[in-house]
Amino acid sequence: MIEDCRKSAAFRSDSGQFAARELLSHAVTTLGHWNLAASKREIIEIVLAEALNNVVEHAYREEDGHPIRLALTMQNDILKCIITDEGNPIPGGKAPCGTEPVLNVPPAELPEGGFGWFLIHNMAESVHYERLGVGNALTIRFSVV
C-alpha cells in the first residue's frame, strides 16, 4: 500500500498593507513544520511575496478589505501554492512572462519596479494563471527535493 504523504494548509487574509506579510508568515511557519530547508523556504517566500503583492496592488488596486487566500499542498516532493482573489483580472488574461530588468542605462533611468514576474518565473518550477468567474487563481509549483 502506498503511503499517503500529502500535506495541506490554507490561509486567508484581507487585502491591505500587511496582508502579504501575514500570509507569508503563516506559509513560512507551515513550511518549517513540513521540514523544508531554510534555503527553499527563502525562495518560496520571495515568490509568494511577489504574487501576493500583485494581488494587493493590481487585482485590488490597493483597496483594503478584500479576500486573499493561499492554499499549500505538498505531495511527492512538489509544493503547490494556489493564490486566489476576487479582484480584477490580469490584463491580457495571462501571467506576464517577466523580462530581465534592463540595467545598462544611466542611473536616473534605472527601473524601480517590474522585477516581480521575473523573480516568480526564475525561482518557481511552474506558474499558471486562470480567471475563474469573478476571481483569479494563480498556481505556483516548486520542486522541494
Partner 1 sequence: MDMTGRIEGRLQIVTVNEPRIDAAVAIQFKDEMRTHTMDGPSRVILDVSQVEFIDSSGLGAIVAAMKQLGPGRKLDLAGLTPAVDNVFRLTRMDSVFTLYPSLDAALMSAAG
- Phi then psi dihedrals of residue 14, to 5 deg: -105, 140
Which C-beta is closer to partner 1: that of 46 or that of 73? 46
The β-bridge partners of 130 are: 137
Look at residue 13 and give its three-state secondary structure.
strand
Name which position in 11, 12, 86, 118 contacts partner 1 (CB under 8 A).
118
Mention every residue, 6+ apart, whose C-beta is less than 8 A from residue 62: 56
Q: Is there binding between residue 83 and partner 1 (CB under 8 A)? A: no
Site string for partner 1, 37-66 (x = CB under 8 A): --x--xx-xx--xx--x--xx---------
Name which position in 100, 133, 134, 145 contacts partner 1 (CB under 8 A).
100
Name which position in 123, 130, 135, 139 contacts partner 1 (CB under 8 A).
123
Q: With CA atoms as reference, report the closest residue to 47 among 143, 145, 133.
A: 143
Q: Is there binding between residue 115 and partner 1 (CB under 8 A)? A: yes
Contact 53, 116 (CB under 8 A): yes
- Phi then psi dihedrals of residue 139, to 5 deg: -110, 125
Q: Is there binding between residue 87 and partner 1 (CB under 8 A)? A: no
Residue 97 CB, shortest distance to partner 1, in Å, is 15
Contact 20, 49 (CB under 8 A): yes
Residues within the interface to partner 1 (CB under 8 A): 17-18, 20-21, 39, 42-43, 45-46, 49-50, 53, 56-57, 100-101, 103, 107-108, 110-116, 118-119, 122-123
